[in-house]
Chains A and B, each alone.
Chain A
């Protein structure tokens, strides 16, 4: 069935780049998404990529999509302490399938 996998934790130093990885199984998804959840808050849509694209850049965020390997990644350049949150990747058509989230910890 449909499944989305992420590593659970990532720790980086302030100013470094963060790379959060995700693998998925449903190759028919039109879009793939990244959401950010700060403590005590809802999920905020960060960015998304159309499935016929390889890369999308939005300020400090770069999304890379490898359809052959069904691998999605989110790169955050110049990571700040305010980027500390849980990041979810999601794919799907009618309903989104979410990964279990990657907790990003940014140390000063």
Chain B
């Protein structure tokens, strides 16, 4: 198994642009999680899905952030419009019996 796959691995964009992060979970896992990691705030859970349904989005910072999971093998996290304070590493993780993380997307908003 290839593990959790995230794309892009790096993204540099300008303030105000739309950013879309993508995740392919491990096949057979029924839970998917989006996290954000920064030096200041550490690892934060943004949202998670069970069987493609959003269960808890209380960690989503504001309306500029949205996440979708149209099917069991794909999820997106969108930021529109992006701001410099959104610069962070965004991790996707999926869970069957145990939880595995993807390699992350390093986002820099200028």
Contact = CB atoms under 8 A, between A and B. Distances in A.
B42 interface: yes
A107 B82 CA distance: 41
A43 B103 CA distance: 8
Contacts of A98: 42-43
A45 B42 contact: no
Contacts of A35: 101
Interface string A28-41: 00010101000001
B50 interface: yes
Nearest to A48: B98
A94 B55 contact: yes
A96 B99 CA distance: 9
B35 to A, nearest CB: 8
A42 B104 contact: yes
Nearest to A43: B101
Given A88-B43, A101-B42, A101-B43, A95 B101 contact: no
A43 to B, nearest CB: 4
A48 B31 CA distance: 18
A85 to B, nearest CB: 14
B102 interface: yes
B109 to A, nearest CB: 19
A71 to B, nearest CB: 21
A25 B50 CA distance: 24
A17 B18 CA distance: 47
A18 B15 CA distance: 43
Given A35-B101, A41-B104, A94-B55, 6 more contacts: A33-B99, A43-B91, A45-B98, A48-B98, A95-B55, A96-B99
